[in-house]
Amino acid sequence: MREINPRICDTTLRDGSHAMAHQFTPEQVRAVVSGLAEAGVPVIEVSHGDGLGGSSFQYGFSKVPEEQLLAAAADAIKDKKLAVLLLPGIGTKEELRMAAAYGAKVARICTHVTEADICEQHIGLAKQLGMEVVGFLMLAHMVPPEKIVEQGKLMESYGADCVYVTDSAGAMTPRDVRERVTALREALNIEVGFHAHMNLALGVANTLEAIECGATQVDGATCGLGAGAGNTPTEILVAVLDKLGYKTGIDVRKIMDVAEDIVRPMMPRPQVIDRAALSLGYYGVYSSFLLHTYRAAERFGVDARDILAELGRRKVVGGQEDMIVDVAVELARQQGKEPAAVGRA
Amino acid sequence: MPKIKTAIIGSGNIGTDLMYKLLRSPWLELTMMVGIDPTSEGLARARALGIATTDKGIEDFLRQPEVAEIVFDATSAKAHRQHAPLLEQAGKIVIDLTPAAIGKYVVPPVNLGAHLDAKNVNLVSCGGQATIPIVAAIRRVQPVKYAEIVATIASKSAGPGTRQNIDEFTQTTAQGLVDMGGAERGKAIIILNPAEPPIIMRNTIYAMVEDPDQAAITKSILDMVRTVQEYVPGYRLRTEPLFDGNKVTVFIEVEGAGDYLPTYSGNLDIMTAAAVKVGEEFAKYLLAKRGAAVPAGV
C-alpha cells in the first residue's frame, strides 16, 4: 500500500485535439467528459491542443468555438474538476477569464522550459480567479535538471501549486525523468507533475518512474489520443498503478470502456508509433508537429524524417509550426525541386 | 542644412541602438540622452560621443526643454504613461517605442505622413512593424478577411518589459493588423526561442483572401519588401509567397543592422529604424513649415 497516490489528469480532450486536427464537437466532448467523470477521473482537461486561443492558421482552426466545448464539458463534469491549458504568447488573460467563467477550476499555464518569466501575470490572474494553477515546463528534455529547477522556482514564486516536467517531444528515457523530477521535488515546496508522449513507447514507464520519484500529478489520455504517437494511455496507466497498489480513484474497467467504447470510434487514425512519430522522440521535436509534417512532406515531396531531423537540429520550440513549411521548402529546393513550382504548389 | 533637435529618454538597449542610428540622420540631431541609472552603459557611450546626458530622468530634461523638439521614448509602457502628459505639457512631439499605445499608430510604409500634426505617435510593436506592411500589401490588391502573424524572436532579444506583459504584444499587434493592415480580423502569436547561437527574428504572415490573384499579390509584396528595406536593410523574404486555397503565407526574416544590438535582434532594429524614419518625416514637415529649403529627393 502506497502512502501518496498520484492524481491523474486526463487530457484526451486537449492533447487529443491535436490528433483530431482540432475537430472535436460539443457532443463528443460531452460524451467523453461524462464517461471520464463516471469512471472517477478527478481532473479533465478541455482546450484547443495549443491551449486556449490556439485556433489559428498556424495550429489549425477549431471546428467550433472553444466556449461551446467548455460549456459542454462543464455540463457533464459533475463533481470533477475542469482544467484548461494556456500558452502565453498564443492565448491571453482574456481567454483565461472566459474559461473561468465557464467553470474551469484548474489552469495549466505552459511556457518553453527556459521561458517561465513570461507567465507571471497569467499565473497571478488564475490564482486571483480562484483557480488551482499548474505550471508546465515544456520540452523539458532540452535542458539539464538545474535549469528546470531554476524555472520551476520562478513558477512557484508566481503562485503555482504544481510544476510539471513536460516531455512534449516524448524524447525522455526513464533516467531523464528520474533526474528532472527528483531535482524539482528536492527544490520546490509545491507538487511536481509529469506529462509524457509515446513517441519512444516509454510513456507508461516514464510516468511510473516520475511517480516513484515523487510526482503526485500525472497526465494520461484515453486510447493515448494526443500529439505525436499520443500520450500515456489513461486506461493502461490506471491498470498498471492499480496493480502496484496505488489508489487513483479511477475504476479500471470503466476507464477501459471509455477508451474503447467512446473514444476509439471518434479517432480519425490509429495512434501508432510510425517512423515519423518515432522521429519526434528521436530528434526531440514537439509532438504536435506530426500531422503538419505529414502534410508538408506530401506537399513538397520530401521525407518527413528529413524535416523533423532539421527541426531538431535547429532547436525549434513548441508553437513554431510555421517552421515546418519553411524547412520543407528549403529541403525541396536543396533536393533540386523548382522553387517556382514549390511556391505555386 | 538645419536639423531638428531630438532627445532620447531611456538609455537601455533600444535607446542606445537608436542613438547610433540618429547620429547618421541628415534631418535629426541628437542633443541629449536621458537615463535614470548613473552606471548605464548607454549614458557612458553617449558621453563618450560628446552628447549631453542626464541620469536624473525626465524631470531633469524638462528643466531644459529647449534642448529638443522631438523626444523618443525608449523606456517602458508604464514609464511612458507617466511621461506622456509631461511631454505634452512641454509641447514636445513624442515618438513612443514602448507598447503604451497612447498615440496614433505609425508603420512607416503604411501611413508615414498621416499623423504629422499629432503630438504623440506609437510604433505598435516589433511584430507589427515587421508584419503589418505585408498585410497592407495584400490588402491593396484584395480584401483580407483575416490576418494572422507569428513572430519568433531570440529569447535574448526579449527584454523584461516584453516578458512581463506578453499579452500587450499579442493584443496590440492584432489590433494593428486590423487598424493599419486593413484586415477584417487579426490575431498575433509570439514565440521566444532560446537556441544558441540566437536565431534571427522571423515572422510568418498568413492572410485569408478569397480567390487570391497570385501574381498581383506576389508583386505587391515584393514591392513592399523593397520599401521596408529602404530603412531596414536586413528585412527580407525567406521564400516567395505561398498560395494554398484561400491562404496566403509569407515568411519574413529581419536581421538587425548591428548598430549596438546584435544582428539577431531584428525585432529591436526594426523598431529603432522605424523610429528614425518617423522622426525624419516629422523633421521634414517642421522644416518645410518654417520655410527651410528641403532638397528634393532626400
Q: Domain map of chain B by residue range? A: 4-123+271-289, 126-262
pLDDT (mean) for A155-160:
98
pLDDT for the residue B65: 86
What are the φ and ψ backbone dihedral angles of A169, each rounded to 5 degrees? -100, 0
CA A236, chain centre distance (Å):
17
pLDDT of A149 above 90: yes
H or E element in which residue A339 lies: helix A339-343
pLDDT digits (tens, 9 = 90+) for A212-231: 999 999 999 999 999 999 99
pLDDT (mean) for A236-248:
97
Per-residue pLDDT band at B293 (split at 50, 70, 90): low
Residue in chain B closest to A54 (alpha carbons) equals B189
Tell me which residue has cell 470533477: A80
For A203, the grid coordinates are 510513456
pLDDT for the residue B294: 58
CATH top class, domain A275-343: mainly alpha
The angle formed by the CA atoms of residues B289, B295 and B296, to the nearest 5 degrees, is: 105
H or E element in which residue B205 lies: strand B201-208
A194 min Cα distance to partner chain B (Å): 22
pLDDT for the residue A343: 46
pLDDT (mean) for B80-105:
94
For B118, the grid coordinates are 499629432
pLDDT digits (tens, 9 = 90+) for B134-190: 999 999 999 999 999 999 999 999 988 789 889 989 999 999 999 999 999 999 999
- Please tell me if residue A341 touches chain B, with a CB cutoff of 8 Å: no
B24 min Cα distance to partner chain A (Å): 35
- Please tell me if residue A337 touches chain B, with a CB cutoff of 8 Å: no
Nearest to A207 by CA among A9, A43, A49: A9
B242 with A343: Cβ contact below 8 A: yes
Q: With beta carbons under 8 A apart, name residues in chain A contacting B204.
A: 58, 322, 326
Share of chain B above pLDDT 90, in %: 89
Do residues A155 and A119 make contact, with C-beta atoms less than 8 angstroms apart? yes
- Count of CB atoms situated within 10 Å of the CB of B231: 18
Q: Is B245 a catalytic residue?
A: no
pLDDT of A342 above 60: no
pLDDT for the residue A336: 86
Q: Which homologous superfamily does the CATH classification assign to the domain defined by A7-266?
A: Aldolase class I (3.20.20.70)
Task: Tell me the residues of chain A between 113 and 132 that have a Cβ less than 8 Å away from chain B.
Answer: 114-115, 117-118, 120-121
pLDDT (mean) for B201-230:
98
Per-residue pLDDT band at B100 (split at 50, 70, 90): confident
Per-residue pLDDT band at A128 (split at 50, 70, 90): very high
pLDDT digits (tens, 9 = 90+) for A53-109: 999 999 999 999 999 999 999 999 999 999 999 999 999 999 999 999 999 999 999
What are the φ and ψ backbone dihedral angles of B77, each rounded to 5 degrees? -60, -40
How far apart are the two ends of chain A, measured CA to CA in Å? 60
pLDDT (mean) for A128-147:
98
The angle formed by the CA atoms of residues B18, B199 and A290, to the nearest 5 degrees, is: 140
A114 with B171: Cβ contact below 8 A: no
pLDDT for the residue A258: 98
The angle formed by the CA atoms of residues B245, B126 and B180, to the nearest 5 degrees, is: 60
- Give the domain ranges of chain A: 7-266, 275-343
pLDDT of A340 above 60: no
pLDDT digits (tens, 9 = 90+) for B14-39: 999 999 999 999 999 999 999 999 99
Do residues A145 and A180 make contact, with C-beta atoms less than 8 angstroms apart? yes
- Please tell me if residue A247 touches chain B, with a CB cutoff of 8 Å: no
What is the radius of gyration, based on Cα positions, of chain B?
19
pLDDT (mean) for A307-331:
96
Alpha-carbon distance of A140 to A178, in angstroms, equals: 12
**Nearest CB partner across the interface for A121, out of B165, B171, B190:** B165
Do residues A68 and A26 make contact, with C-beta atoms less than 8 angstroms apart? yes
pLDDT digits (tens, 9 = 90+) for B246-271: 999 999 999 999 999 999 999 999 99
CA B74, chain centre distance (Å):
11
pLDDT for the residue A1: 43
In chain A the beta strands, taken as DSSP E runs, fall at: 7-13, 43-46, 81-86, 106-112, 132-138, 162-166, 191-195, 217-220
Alpha-carbon distance of B20 to B31, in angstroms, equals: 13
pLDDT for the residue B136: 98
For A151, the grid coordinates are 524555472
Alpha-carbon distance of B150 to A159, in angstroms, equals: 29
For A213, the grid coordinates are 520519484
**Nearest CB partner across the interface for B148, out of A58, A323, A342:** A58
- Three-class DSSP category at B216: helix
pLDDT (mean) for A177-188:
98
CATH topology of domain B126-262: Dihydrodipicolinate Reductase; domain 2 (3.30.360)
A118 with B166: Cβ contact below 8 A: yes
With residues binned 3-state (H G I as helix, E B as strand, rest as coil), the percentages for chain B, rounded to 5, are 40, 25, 35
Nearest to A115 by CA among A86, A91, A138: A138
Q: What number does CATH give the domain B4-123+271-289?
A: 3.40.50.720
How confident is the prediction for chain B on average, in pLDDT?
A: 94
Secondary structure, 3-state, B148-172: EEEEEEEHHHCCHHHHHCHHHHHHH
pLDDT for the residue B119: 95
Strands B52-54 and B70-73: unpaired
Do residues A211 and A183 make contact, with C-beta atoms less than 8 angstroms apart? no
Q: Pseudo-torsion of CA B280, B285, B291, B296, nearest 10°?
A: 60
**Nearest CB partner across the interface for B150, out of A58, A112, A117:** A58
- Three-class DSSP category at B96: strand
Size of interface A-B (CB pairs under 8 A): 101
A343 with B241: Cβ contact below 8 A: yes
How confident is the prediction for chain A on average, in pLDDT?
A: 96
